[in-house]
Amino acid sequence: MRVIGYTRVSTAEQTADGLSLDAQASRVRAWADATGAEVVEIVRDEGVSGTKLLAERPGGRRIADLIEARRPDADAVVVVRMDRLGRDAAEQLALLKRFRAGKVGLVAIAQQIDLATPHGRCMAQIGAVFAELERSLIAERTAEALTELRQQGRAWNHAPFGWDALDGHLVANPVEQDSLTRIRNLRAAGVSYHRVAAILDAEGRSTKRGGPWQAASVRSVLRTAAQLEGTEAA
């Protein structure tokens, strides 16, 4: 069986154990070795949120096209977990239907999902529901924590972009606040997240950790700043 591995990390997940692109690719290859499958390609999406539709991701577009192909060049797509395809339950279920109806199979290693069996299809649907629940709970806890921080003026974990932590309190970082203003102005002018990231890099504006900007990091910075300031993200 010829398979294509699909790996994805969001900005926040890139340093987490077991979630790196290389770690996911290694697990896909180990599964292939154990089952006798041939990995013909590893598709990577780096710094891409699972909330973004599969077809709108650089690597995800390749998978979406494969599912719809009349003569696909692989027999199955292999992921470490279902949430690598996406964290939205509605899209996951839609993808599962497309995999079931099409010529390309799907394997999710961690959940032992194989759409060739009724049990595997049932477990895939349950996994999609729980992935969305997990995302909702994380968002809810984050919003509650940031609201509490805003009321207390205290830093939580690491200071968010635009602020520094001083004696446990958040104080504005002038350089990063200037970048925040730049981001908001660009978004207000209708500039896409991807284009904003490119402009910030071209202007030499650093992220909190000094790395390159990604569309997902621009979106995250805006959302966090909006929650801290009690406004709405652009």
* Per-residue pLDDT tens over the stretch 141-152: 656 666 666 566
Residue 125 shares a structural domain with residue 219: no
Q: Do both 7 and 103 map to the same domain?
A: yes
Percent of the chain exceeding pLDDT 90 equals: 34
Question: Is 141 within a domain?
Answer: no
Domain that holds residue 157: 153-229
CA distances from 227 to 5, 66, 68, 188 (A): 37, 39, 40, 18
What percentage of the chain exceeds 70 in pLDDT? 75
pLDDT in tens, 95-143: 877 887 778 889 888 877 777 556 666 766 666 666 666 666 666 665 6
178 with 70, same domain: the answer is no
- pLDDT of 49 reads 85
| Final residue of a structural domain among 83, 107, 135 | 135
Residue 15 has pLDDT above 60, yes or no: no
Residue 103 and residue 179 share a domain? no
Here the tokens at position 158 are 């690491």
pLDDT at 157 over 60: no
Confidence class for position 8, pLDDT limits 50, 70, 90: very high
What is the number of structural domains in the chain?
2
In this model, does residue 232 exceed pLDDT 50?
Answer: no
Residues 14 and 41 in one domain: yes
Q: Which of 53-62, 105-114, 203-212 has the lowest mean pLDDT?
A: 105-114
Q: Is residue 185 part of a domain?
A: yes
- 221 and 130 both lie in a single domain: no
Decide: 27 and 66 in contact? Cβ < 8 Å: no
Answer yes or no: is pLDDT of 16 > 60.
no
In a domain, 146, yes or no: no
* Residue 78 scores a pLDDT above 50: yes
Residue 88 and residue 124 in one domain = yes
For residue 19, is it within any domain?
yes
Average pLDDT over residues 197-221: 90
Which of 16-30, 32-46, 47-61 shows the lowest per-residue confidence on average (mean pLDDT)?
Answer: 16-30
SS3 183: helix
CB 119 within 8 A of CB 91: no
Give the best-scoring range by mean pLDDT among 24-28, 128-132, 166-170.
24-28
Domain boundary among 135, 161, 188: 135
Which pLDDT band, with edges at 50, 70 and 90, does 227 fall under? confident
DSSP 153-176: TB--SSPPTTEEEETTEEEE-HHH
209 in helix, strand or coil? coil
User: Average pLDDT, whole number, for the chain?
Assistant: 81
Does the structure show a pLDDT above 60 at 17?
no
